[in-house]
Amino acid sequence: MIAGIQDVYYYVDDMAQAVAFYRDTLGLRLISESPHWSVFDVGGVRLGLHKAEGNPIRSSLNHAGIYAGATVTFKVRGIQQEVERLQSAGVKFIGDVVDEPFGILAAFQDLDGNIIKLMEPKAV
């Protein structure tokens, strides 16, 4: 029986650099760190970083931006301000901020090419 989500994780090449990006640039709360596995708490969900150990990192990047699959989507308030904050920290976004009937979305890559999305849901 499935009881819940244990964690969601991305593979990374350089753990220290990746931890710094997720902690310092994105502002996530680091709960454990090791050379091979680090974990952040994101609103009660565990986001992990797993050392790639020389294996190729496969990104879901297909130039689809917000339509890329197999990504983490962070729920945000004030998406335009968050996009501007991250851009000023050097984060490169994929495409434009997109306004859909269900929410406003933006997509970017981490230092290893993993796709991350931001979404500001619209009230229903």
Q: Write down the domain spans for the chain.
A: 8-51, 65-121
Q: Do domains 8-51 and 65-121 have the same CATH topology?
A: yes
Q: What is the DSSP letter of 56?
A: P
Is residue 63 predicted with pLDDT exceeding 80? Answer: no
Question: Class for domain 8-51, per CATH?
Answer: alpha beta
3-state SS, residue 20:
helix
pLDDT at position 68, please? 54
Q: What is the mean pLDDT of residues 81-101?
A: 94
Q: In angstroms, what CA-CA distances link 117 with 23, 26, 41?
A: 16, 12, 17
Q: In angstroms, what CA-CA distances link 43 with 5, 32, 40, 74, 103?
A: 13, 15, 10, 10, 19
Prediction pTM value: 0.82
pLDDT at position 59, please? 63
Q: What is the pLDDT of residues 5-45, one digit of tens each?
A: 778 999 899 999 999 999 999 999 999 999 999 999 999 99
CATH number for the domain running over 65-121: 3.30.720.110
**Token pair of 113, please?**
């090419």
pLDDT at position 67, please? 58
Is residue 61 predicted with pLDDT exceeding 60? Answer: no
